[in-house]
Amino acid sequence: MDQNVEHEVVSMPRIGDAAPEFKAVTTQGNINFPADYKGSWVILFSHPADFTPVCTSEFMTFATMEDQFANANCKLVGLSIDGLYSHIAWLRTIKEKIEYKGMKDVEVNFPLIEDITMNVAKKYGMIQPNEDTTKAVRAVFFIDPKGIIRAIIYYPLSLGRNFDELYRVVLALKTADEFGVATPADWRPGDDVIIGPAGSCSGAKDRMEDSELDCKDWFFCTKKLDKNKVLDKILKK
Ligand code: BEZ
């Protein structure tokens, strides 16, 4: 790759921004994004190309987990810079021919956007020219029910995503919203959560004396948050 080639400057959406709007053709019909997804969490993700092995393994994994994400009120929307007929042919091949890690007969029921014009990919900073000028990187945008981008993860072309981590991110964001807490490294439902920073000296003193908190120091306090209480709140059933 030539690092010295000049590339068009693109703006990339950031955490906290409203998700850029677009209309697109997908394998499940036309969509108006993010308006059609109001009230749901949505993961908008890109992949480099149809009929490629890493992408195929990812689509099979995501499709197999679709119900799990739906139970967390989270919809999936994929994108690559390929046409609709390529998408359809690839998804049919996956269903009819591909068996991988015990997954077979996998039907991808979430929409896959055709983006030959790169209109959407450019809006979302999915083309990273020093990685590839015509293939989208593996971008993942977590968008909340109000259409706000809450987390973004990018992976290069060669690296398949960890879908357990993507699910964990959705659960952690929902838990933060529902319970007003933060989540520490590697948090999973049932683990202790972190309470917000003390806003005053007396607040710092109070928390050190609060028997319901486990304070490593005044700035680092955790509390128990029951797993069932979390799951009752953030999952449908
Ligand atoms: C893949 O999905 O296998 C892939 C796509 C583009 C570059 C490298 C790998």
pLDDT value, residue 197:
85
Class of domain 22-161: alpha beta
Whether the CB-CB separation of 94 and 73 falls below 8 Å is answered with no
- d(CA 188, CA 54) in angstroms, rounded, equals 27
Ligand 1 atom index nearest CA of 56: 2
Distances (CA, A) of 214 to 47, 55, 210, 217, 233: 42, 43, 8, 9, 24
Backbone angles phi, psi at 58, to 5 degrees: -70, -45
Q: Which of 135, 157, 159, 161 to mutate to test ligand 1, by most ligand atoms within 8 A of the CB atom?
A: 157
55 lines ligand 1 (CB under 6 A): yes
Predicted TM-score (pTM) of the model is 0.95
- d(CA 143, CA 160) in angstroms, rounded, equals 21
60 lines ligand 1 (CB under 6 A): no
> 101-146, pLDDT tens digit by residue?
999 999 999 999 999 999 999 999 999 999 999 999 999 999 999 9
> What pairing do the DSSP bridges indicate for beta strands 29-33 and 138-143?
unpaired
Q: How buried is 53 (Cβ within 10 angstroms: 0-12 exposed, 13-18 middle, 19+ buried)?
A: exposed
Backbone angles phi, psi at 171, to 5 degrees: -65, -40
Q: Whose CA is nearest to atom 1 of ligand 1?
A: 54
- Please tell me the total number of residues recorded for the chain in this structure: 237
201 in catalytic set: no
> 189-229, pLDDT tens digit by residue?
999 999 988 899 999 999 999 999 999 999 999 999 999 99
Q: Spell out the domain ranges in the chain.
A: 22-161, 180-234
* Residue 11 pLDDT grade (very low, low, confident, very high; cuts 50, 70, 90): confident
Domain 180-234 has CATH 1.10.260.40: no
